[in-house]
Structure 1
Amino acid sequence: MPVTSSPLHIAVVGGGIGGLAAALATARAGHRVTLVERATRFGEIGAGLQLAPNASLALDELGVLAAVRHAAVAPPRLVMMDALTGHEVTALDLRGAAYSDRFAHPYLVTHRTDLHTALLTACQEHPGVTLRTGHTVTEAEQNGFGVHLTFAESHAKLSADAVVAADGLHSRLRQSLVNDGEPVCSRYVAFRGALPTGRMTGPMSRHAASEAVMVWAGPRMHLVQYPVRRGELYNQVAVFESDHYSPVSDDWGTEAELEERFAGTCQAVRDALPLISRDRRWPLYDRAPIDTWVHGRIVLLGDAAHPMLQYLAQGACQALEDAVALGQALGRCSDPAEAFAAYADRRRERAALIQTNARRFGEICHLEGMGATLRNMLLSARGPEAFDDISWVWTPTPASAPAR
């Protein structure tokens, strides 16, 4: 990344994957960064993440790809199965010549905490990054010279030339700037977690040994499985639509509904179901795309800008793309407003397309009856090197490309 001759002080709000990546990219562009995180310690919750080649490219540009690869798995195939019949529908070869000729970087799967740790370590080691935990932003006041952040835990303020809001799905800064209401609940929930691979038995043990990413698609539900942490753990995510969703109650998407929705699946899926973590259920949210990411000297990034459903496995990938684009813009422009505008112009349309297409892919995955039959017929005709439909997702917009 180019280094600016006029260093700025940039505050990053949020210490998740997007926030850490943004801090690292900004510091590597030559600026001074203070990252504030409301939790008292850095950490990530959740289980596995899929990192398509666009994410691997971003990690390479951030200088952390080698650290992430150390604990990640490069799956040989991405497989879609019919959750009712147990038959393979379609698959993509992720290690063949067709893949490597088209994509310069690997498709990886990793534990969310391993990716977070790699980014956190890189930030801790960079002299331009200061990390502060236990800082909950309550107000952001800006003028023509900078932004002043106020915190719930202290009367002290943090002053910076500009602010990156990377505070997630329920971003407080977004709410104060955009005022577009709450995130949209899809009525779907996920139960997810990773367990020792050795606990997988029967047909599931063969799938685990194959190291493939397995997507079992069924009516209004699906199951995703793949190994993480050098193959030592097996990640499982069961997703389904609740018949009892209520915006005013938390009594929906229960374990009983999980069992009911998956009751008609094939034996392999039913065998996996008891091993899926039940410690927490995760309602799935997104938002409609917005046109304005930049508000004076404050800019949105990651889920604060474009929260999306997980069906294209691009949530973290897009946050990483954001961070790289932001760092590159800040490396070229000494004026933060100009840099933020260039970053948003480069990223806004692509992120919006992935947001909306993630919804559509979820609808395709969860088809019922004749719709599912037609889906399987069409997809089964595809070969393992048929990357045309997904290549645009896995290929980020070049820095030199103008916004469309």
Structure 2
Amino acid sequence: MEQLSNVIVVGGGIGGLAAALAITKKTDKTVAVLEQAPQFGEVGAGIQLAPNALHVLDQLGVKEEVLKAAVLPKRLVLKDVYTAKELAVLDLTEDFQAHFGQPYIVLHRSDLHRSLYEACQANGNITFLNNQVVQKVEQQDGSVSVVNQNGESFSAEAVIGADGLKSNIRKHFSQDEPICSEYVAYRGTIPMEEMSATGDVELDDVIMWIGPNLHLVQYPVRRGELYNQVVVFKTYDYKPEGDWGTPEEMAKRFEGAHPLVERALEFISTQFRWPMFDRLPIENWTDGNVTLLGDAAHPMLQYLAQGAAQALEDSLVLAESLQDASSYNEAFVAYQQERQPRTANVQTSARKWGEILHAEDDITTLLRNTIFAQHTAKSYEVADFLYSYFNKRQEKVNA
């Protein structure tokens, strides 16, 4: 069977495109990206990108293009959903950028995806195939092949599974299933002028209104032209099959919220709902010349806003491992050895942070708020374990 390319990347989302771009920048290998959708694109709404993600975008040469569509907020703010009291603040201005080496930005997911896709299109070593629902991966005689929904096979020297939460490539390593958190999200963007007319918009901040088993996130995207809102709550009527987390339950769960929150809910689109899933960390996601990346390897809940950032970190570390190693397996093992502990920590930390944000009982809430109050807006050390990953990595190299 003739090889399609040196490397096949299964999945054309943010992680898959970043991996293709990173590999072709760090090595002379060719990459084919197989995407199940009829065309390349990204669904969803806003996305937050912390300095660790910006470092990767900088290395990939797309940072400046991404910044054109982004907003640089001045603060991250946690507010009480009932009283609007500010519980915690993180200053994101000059001192933040000096500490972490990169800014914190917010933008529309489709703008990030488009920037990566256009950079891949301009790269002569990357090709794309759409309508490819890859079912399985097979290894034989030093090559790897994937089989699509029609039984067609494509061969390469190595395969990277970047096919998301419901990854078929992951089944090569684990038979685990996604775990439902019993939380659901409603999200979307609206023209800024519609929100501005209410006089309630904080244009300079990323705001998270938090309460028992619920929250609302708000921030501007696309150069401030759109306002992004995400409502998240835990259903009290969970059923593995059936209708749960409905708009009617959302309205009931937010009864008694601050008037600013109540008005914000009027602008939330309820046409689509996103049940929230993750998986438990797995110890191994590499076999021979096959490995996983992003949500296929380590899907996480979104409470730390690190899902895309971890996929971006993966892409750069994987490409650097390929650059340094003498074989794919050597590179993939080195990549996994570095990334598995890191991503497992972020996965479990995201779960814990969700529990803290959504505290139910009075004692836990009081303890949480007391701890929040002990930090200043420039207590950047609390975020070092997330945002300073590449800084600390470089320190180890220099030591």
Report the TM-score when normalising by structure 2: 0.94
What is the CA-CA distance between 1:382 and the residue it aligns to? 1.6
What is the CA-CA distance between 1:218 and the residue it aligns to? 0.5
Number of aligned positions between the proteins: 389
Matched, 1:196 2:191: yes
Further displaced range: 383-392 or 357-366: 383-392
What is the CA-CA distance between 1:296 and the residue it aligns to? 1.6
| Residue 263 of structure 1: aligned partner | 255
Q: What stretches of structure 1 move > 3 A for 4+ residues in a row?
A: 201-206, 399-402
Distance in 2, Cα, partners of 1:364 & 1:354: 15
Matched, 1:374 2:371: no
Aligned residue among 219, 224, 230 for 2:223 = 230
Alignment check: 8 A CA contact 1:242 1:253 kept: yes
Aligned residue among 64, 67, 72 for 2:65 = 67
3-state SS in 2 of match to 1:275: coil
Alignment check: 8 A CA contact 2:50 2:105 kept: yes
What is the CA-CA distance between 1:400 and the residue it aligns to? 7.9
Aligned residue among 292, 302, 326 for 1:300 = 292
Residues 4-403 of structure 1: matches in 2 within 5 Å?
A: 9-29=6-26, 30-97=28-95, 99-153=96-150, 155-180=151-176, 182-201=177-196, 205-207=200-202, 209=203, 211-247=204-240, 249-370=241-362, 371-397=364-390, 398=393, 401=396
What is the CA-CA distance between 1:44 and the residue it aligns to? 0.7
Indicate the RMSD between aligned Cα atoms, in angstroms: 1.5
Distance in 1, Cα, partners of 2:123 & 2:136: 28
Alignment check: 8 A CA contact 1:51 1:107 kept: yes
What is the CA-CA distance between 1:66 and the residue it aligns to? 0.6
What is the CA-CA distance between 1:185 and the residue it aligns to? 0.4
Decide whether aligned partners of structure 1 residues 18 and 198 sit closer, same or farther in structure 2, where only a CA change above 3 A counts: same
Post-superposition Cα deviations, 1:13-67, rounded to whole Å, max 9, x if no partner, equal 0000010001111111221101101111011110000000000001101111011
Report the TM-score when normalising by structure 1: 0.93
What is the CA-CA distance between 1:278 and the residue it aligns to? 0.9
3-state SS in 1 of match to 2:256: coil
Alignment check: 8 A CA contact 1:262 1:270 kept: yes
Q: Which amino acid aligns with 1:269?
A: V
3-state SS in 2 of match to 1:92: strand
What is the CA-CA distance between 1:138 and the residue it aligns to? 2.1
- Give 5+ residue unaligned stretches, structure 1: 1-7
Alignment check: 8 A CA contact 1:204 1:268 kept: no
3-state SS in 1 of match to 2:190: strand
Distance in 2, Cα, partners of 1:201 & 1:64: 31
What is the CA-CA distance between 1:95 and the residue it aligns to? 0.4
Distance in 2, Cα, partners of 1:198 & 1:225: 15
- Give 5+ residue unaligned stretches, structure 2: none
Distance in 1, Cα, partners of 2:102 & 2:171: 36
3-state SS in 2 of match to 1:330: helix
Alignment check: 8 A CA contact 2:173 2:284 kept: no
Distance in 2, Cα, partners of 1:390 & 1:115: 23
Decide whether aligned partners of structure 1 residues 212 and 103 sit closer, same or farther in structure 2, where only a CA change above 3 A counts: same
Q: Which amino acid aligns with 2:209?
A: W
3-state SS in 2 of match to 1:324: helix
Distance in 1, Cα, partners of 2:375 & 2:93: 17
Post-superposition Cα deviations, 1:224-256, rounded to whole Å, max 9, x if no partner, equal 000000000010000000001111x23100001
Further displaced range: 232-241 or 288-297: 288-297
Q: Which amino acid aligns with 1:396?
A: Y
What is the CA-CA distance between 1:388 and the residue it aligns to? 1.5
Alignment check: 8 A CA contact 1:35 1:129 kept: yes
